[in-house]
């Protein structure tokens, strides 16, 4: 009862000379050339949003609705998804672009003029701080670990079964 697609094998048998003569006028015209739509998601950021009807509604082979119901629901899904996307982008795209432009502009300004200079100052001071820190740890912590190691090396662990 499911939607069944029948594949038909069709073939055109043409002589090679006839094929070459029939294609020449098409290639010689320099009129309108098909240009593909620009890819609006070249980095494939929204790959998880490429959802089709079959990804949402799927009928297992054991249960199928009527073909007309399946086709109608598929058409309704695609039309409603298309209309609502267009409607919502018409209402929200420009205000959201404005808000996100302000947010990313502020974040960029903060990062460039505040965060990175502070990080660079710390990186410039870090070598001298590192020398002081290493000498402090060598003076106080390293002897403690050496003495703890000597103390704990004399500990013997024996296991007994009850």
Nearest Cα neighbor of 77 from 48, 49, 57 is: 57
136 lies in some domain: yes
Predicted pLDDT of residue 157: 79
Predicted pLDDT of residue 10: 56
Predicted pLDDT of residue 25: 53
45 lies in some domain: no
* 18 contacts 43 by C-beta, under 8 angstroms: no
Question: From the CB of residue 59, how many other CB atoms can be counted at a distance below 10 Å?
Answer: 13
Q: Please report how many Cα atoms fall inside a 13 Å half-sphere around the Cα of residue 49, on the Cβ side.
A: 6
* 59 contacts 65 by C-beta, under 8 angstroms: yes
| pLDDT tens, N- to C-terminus, the chain (162 residues) | 555 555 555 555 555 555 555 555 555 555 556 678 888 888 888 888 888 878 778 788 888 888 888 888 888 988 999 999 999 999 999 999 999 999 999 999 999 999 999 988 888 888 888 888 888 888 888 777 777 777 777 777 788 886
Query: What is the count of structural domains for the chain?
Result: 1
As a whole number of angstroms, the distance between CA 151 and CA 147 comes to 6
Predicted pLDDT of residue 14: 55
Q: Dihedral sign for Cα 41, 42, 44, 47, please.
A: positive
Predicted pLDDT of residue 153: 76
Predicted pLDDT of residue 32: 58
Q: Please report how many Cα atoms fall inside a 13 Å half-sphere around the Cα of residue 158, on the Cβ side.
A: 3
115-154 pLDDT per residue, tens? 999 988 888 888 888 888 888 888 888 777 777 777 777 7
131 lies in some domain: yes
Alpha-carbon Rg for the chain, nearest whole angstrom, is 36
Domain that holds residue 119: 54-145
105 lies in some domain: yes
Predicted pLDDT of residue 16: 59
63 lies in some domain: yes
85 lies in some domain: yes
Predicted pLDDT of residue 84: 95
133 lies in some domain: yes
77 lies in some domain: yes
């Amino acid at each position: 009862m499911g939607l069944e697609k029948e594949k038909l094998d069709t073939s055109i048998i043409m002589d090679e000379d006839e094929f070459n003569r029939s294609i020449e006028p098409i290639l010689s015209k320099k009129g309108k050339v098909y240009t593909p739509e620009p890819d609006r998601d070249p980095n494939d950021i929204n790959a998880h949003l490429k959802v089709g009807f079959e990804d949402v509604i799927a009928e297992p082979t054991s249960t199928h609705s009527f073909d007309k119901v399946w086709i109608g629901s598929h058409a309704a899904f695609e039309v409603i998804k298309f209309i609502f996307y267009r409607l919502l982008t018409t209402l929200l795209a420009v205000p959201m672009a404005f808000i996100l432009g302000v947010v990313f502009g502020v974040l960029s300004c903060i990062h460039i003029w505040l965060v990175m200079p502070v990080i660079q100052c710390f990186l410039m001071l870090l070598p001298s701080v590192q020398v002081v820190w290493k000498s402090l740890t060598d003076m106080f912590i390293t002897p403690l670990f050496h003495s703890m190691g000597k103390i704990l090396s004399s500990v013997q662990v024996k296991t007994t079964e009850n």
